[in-house]
Amino acid sequence: MDTNKVILGIYEDPDHIYDATKKLIHDGYRVRDVYSPFAIHGIDRVMGIKRSRLTVAAFIFAMTGITLALTLQTYVSFFDWQINVGGKPFLHIPTYIPITFELSILCTAFGMVACFFYVNRMVWGKNADIIDIRVTDDLFVVAVDVIPNKTNIAALSELLKSKGAIEIREKEFED
């Protein structure tokens, strides 16, 4: 098992952690992640995180729902069980719109929940690795990778303190 050491800078203000992350990346440090109790606007661009493909997945799930709804309704009303309702034709597409809309929303919702669990590796019985319990409440943490024989821990700690860190500590992860 590899052990990866990180330096954690703990902050009380989202503006301070934003500035610290920007400075760390500018100075060439490798920021593993920034943990916060809420989203910090613009931090993803600072860290170089690519735009999510979530919209593409949602579109595919919606199209799956639309296809299923139209296929089922067309098969049942035209091929399998023709019923004359009020003199309407057997293949009357406008009557399919409400069910098609609802099934597309249902497939999108279930598909997005499944994607969420898959992408975040949330499986039954697995406990979350919380880097610091205070992150879930009111503090912000930036985790900086320590590269052996390359990272100056004293300089890194000084940089984090200068950007407003209230606490600095080391942590090891097992991969």
* Domain final residue, candidates 78, 94, 119: 119
Phi-psi region of 28 (alpha: psi -120 to 50; beta: other; left: phi over 0): left
Q: In total, how many domains does the chain have? A: 2
Tell me, yes or no, whether 96 and 153 share the same domain: no
Per-residue b or e along 44-70, where b marks 16 or more CB atoms closer than 10 Å to that residue's CB: eebbeeeeeeeeebbeebbeebbeebb
Domain identity same for 61 and 113: yes
Looking at the structure, tell me whether residues 20 and 35 fall in a common domain.
Answer: yes
Predicted local confidence at residue 1, as pLDDT: 36
Residue 154 confidence (pLDDT) above 70: yes
CA dihedral 114, 117, 121, 124 (to 10 degrees): -100
Are residues 26 and 83 both part of a single domain?
no
Q: Model pTM greater than 0.85?
A: no
The domain in which residue 131 lies consists of 3-49+127-174
Q: What's 11's domain CATH number? A: 3.30.70.260
- Kindly report, residue by residue over 25-46, the tens digit of the pLDDT: 998 888 988 988 888 999 989 9
* 143, two tokens: 């985790």
